[in-house]
A and B are shown apart, each in its own frame.
Chain A
Amino acid sequence: MDIYFIIEKLILISAILGVSLLIAMYTTLAERKFAGFFQDRVGPNRAGPWGILQPLADGVKLFTKEEIIPTNAGTFLFVLGPSLSMFTACITSAVIPWGPDLTLFGKTVALQVADINVGILYIFGVVSLGVYGIMIGGWASNNKFSLLGAIRAASQNISYELAMGLSIIALLMVTGTLSLREISIQQEGWHWNVLYQPIGFLIFLICSFAETNRTPFDLPECETELVGGHHTEYSSMKLGFYLFAEYINVFVSSAVLATLYFGGYNFPGMHLISNPNVVAILGVAALFIKILLFIFFFIWIRWTIPRFRYDQLMKLGWNILIPLSIINIVVTGLVIILKQ
């Protein structure tokens, strides 16, 4: 194996990890600012101008708090829970194509860590793994509220995974490939998948909200019923990991949504620019603008729509989304056959 290849990938991985952590950090601030705006308040504005040092202050606060591990908790699993949450949140971004190929010093650099030909399924697998962090942490806390949160997370995750998988099947019928890179290339010039799969997009979007445990689907940490849900017993940076993993998940989900349905790194007028490096840089910028819009959408929904009741959540998943996605598959198949 080529040493330059390893160095190139290492730089790319570090850059992506750094950017996702940075964006997750400032999403916490953006969330609180927008929450303030929606509720006619100011929001955090003490740390630095306009509160831009607030995430740092929060981080220092979480790091310096006392670490408490409950006496009857399983120590290893108690620590493993938040670590696993953070880990699964970070590894999803490996298959996302961040932009077209760059040409540096006569070498082609792909702006994607790994172009595996089952890219979508990889994302789907890692997303389904994300629930282990919550389940293990909730169980190891040895607390009834935590356990209830963990159980809710598990059942919610399984229910919405089905609808998500079915909406991906309809998307695959249109694209004919599982590789995210090829899907991005196919969408060049306004052939965005959301135009071909509007219902599939809607189902995928709703399921992304459920899989990231964001309002209106944040039943695992529903504070009116379960104190703090699965992280009731957690303090210090272990709590911080759970909270932070949620924001990384929001970022990665936004990136997946933008790549699968909103054209990825493609932008209007892409073919007019001849220099490939300029195209690559503008492509990355376009993808990040789309991602930021989706993050705003996540925040917007959180401060607008109240939380579901648990039976409503199950009903939406099993009685509405799954039949709808099956109908979507059938209609997609019929349209493809009729067009041939």
Chain B
Amino acid sequence: MSHSIFYLLSFVTLLFALLVVFAKNPIHSALYMVMTFFSITCHYILLNAQFLAIVNFIVYMGAIMVLILFAMMFLNLGKETEVQKPIYLKFAAVIAAGLLMLTIFAAIKKTDGGEISGLPINDIGLVKNLGKTLFKDFLLPFEIISILLLSAMVGSVLLAKREIN
């Protein structure tokens, strides 16, 4: 039961991820990305990671994608304004993408397609257990990441701030 749901969800996720790339219209692309995030949220629910699922839902679908759409609506992207990249850049992009594909294929070939299993401890995804683990076993990394995020936030505010006079 859970295996077939997993395969269906993975198919949907990959389908929408591909549509993000193939869609002609940037706004459609962004909407497909919303759907991709939604199917990733469903993956988290399948793993019984409720907190991660809902946070992924709020942060990525509710905030980040709204901001991206918001910015895109201002840009008025159309065929006329599309910038054509120089030919050497296109070649470089093709080679880089080919190398990435090679790496991914190599990585996939190494892994064995064994049993798909859930999380090692099945209730770790619930808010209470996750909070306890974060604040007991992983306190230092957690705090360091918080400081990193805070400094990134301060940095972005500084960059976005307009110079007076």
Query: Which A108-123 residues have a C-beta within 8 angstroms of B?
Result: 116-118, 121-122
Q: Tell me the dominant secondary structure on chain A's binding face.
A: helix
Q: Does A70 contact B (CB under 8 A)?
A: no
Q: Does A34 contact B (CB under 8 A)?
A: no
Q: Does A190 contact B (CB under 8 A)?
A: no
Which residue from chain A places its CB closest to the CB of B38 in the assembled complex?
Answer: A129
Residues of B within 8 A of A150 (CB): 73
Q: Does B139 contact A (CB under 8 A)?
A: no
Q: Tell me the dominant secondary structure on chain B's binding face.
A: helix
Q: Once the chains bind, are A161 and B62 in contact (CB under 8 Å)?
A: yes
* Contact A158 B66, CB 8 Å, known A116-B50, A117-B127, A129-B61: yes
Q: Does B69 contact A (CB under 8 A)?
A: yes
In angstroms, Cα B50 to Cα A122, docked, is 10
Residues of B within 8 A of A291 (CB): none
Q: Does B74 contact A (CB under 8 A)?
A: yes
Residues of A within 8 A of B142 (CB): none
Q: Does B51 contact A (CB under 8 A)?
A: yes
Q: Once the chains bind, are B126 and A117 in contact (CB under 8 Å)?
A: yes
Query: Which A154-168 residues have a C-beta within 8 angstroms of B?
Result: 154-155, 157-158, 161
- Which residues of A are at the interface with B, using a C-beta cutoff of 8 A? 77, 116-118, 121-122, 124-125, 128-129, 131-132, 135-136, 139, 147, 150-151, 154-155, 157-158, 161, 178
23 sample A-B contacts, Cβ–Cβ < 8 Å, listed by A number: A77-B31, A116-B50, A118-B51, A118-B54, A118-B127, A125-B61, A128-B58, A128-B61, A128-B62, A129-B62, A132-B34, A135-B69, A135-B70, A135-B73, A139-B27, A147-B73, A150-B73, A151-B74, A154-B69, A154-B73, A155-B70, A158-B67, A161-B62
